[in-house]
Amino acid sequence: MLNEKVAQLLNQQIIKEFYSAYLYLDFSVFYEAQGLDGFANWYMIQAQEERDHAMLFLKYLQNNGEKVSLDTIDKPDKELTTLMDPLKFGFEHEQYVTSLINDIYAAAYDVKDFRTMQFLDWFVKEQLEEEKNADDMIKKMELFGNDSKGLYSLDSEYAARIYTAPSLVL
């Protein structure tokens, strides 16, 4: 059995991950409306990843005999007006998710829950990748986004992204 606080934080993370999927789906819809299919693809795949992250947390709780408690997923509240908005909001959101993972890790550490810490190790590494990707997208948009050929090139690059499900073994 997991520590009560750790289990509660893991349950809350399920909802946070589903919210992340919903947020990135919103970004995808925004870019699709702008005619940027590649950017839309990138965020559609990002939404799929976040949904899978939620399912990993859910399965971890179930595998540990814990009750899964699902709650309401908030509607994304970001106003998207420029092509840069989703990129900046995405980076801020990934930093927030990193802080949530760190909080769960700290709670597990406090009660010497090594199994949960080991489970979270993958997410710690994943968040490094997520933040770097989000930061790189901002930098590329700042460098090339004001030029139509540069924007076309970025859109083509993001269109090539394919979905790969996480390979975390529970």
86-108 per-residue burial string, b: 16 or more CB within 10 A, e: under 16: bbebbbebbeebbebbeebbebb
Average pLDDT for 138-154: 96
Rg over alpha carbons for the chain, rounded to the nearest Å, is 17
State the virtual CA torsion across 30, 163, 87, 134 in degrees, nearest 10.
170
- 113 in helix, strand or coil? coil
> Percent of the chain at pLDDT above 70?
98
Using CA atoms, how far apart are residues 7 and 12, in angstroms rounded to an integer?
9
Whole-prediction pTM: 0.94
Using CA atoms, how far apart are residues 1 and 30, in angstroms rounded to an integer?
43
Average pLDDT for 105-126: 97
What confidence tier does 166 reach under pLDDT thresholds 50, 70, 90?
confident
Instruction: Domain 4-159: give its CATH architecture.
Output: Up-down Bundle (1.20)
Asked if residue 169 has pLDDT above 70, the reply is no
Tell me the per-residue pLDDT of 4-49, one tens digit each, with 9 for 90 and over: 999 999 999 999 999 999 999 999 999 999 999 999 999 999 999 9
* DSSP-derived secondary structure for 50-87: HHHHHHHHHHHHHHTTPPP---PPPPP-----STTHHH
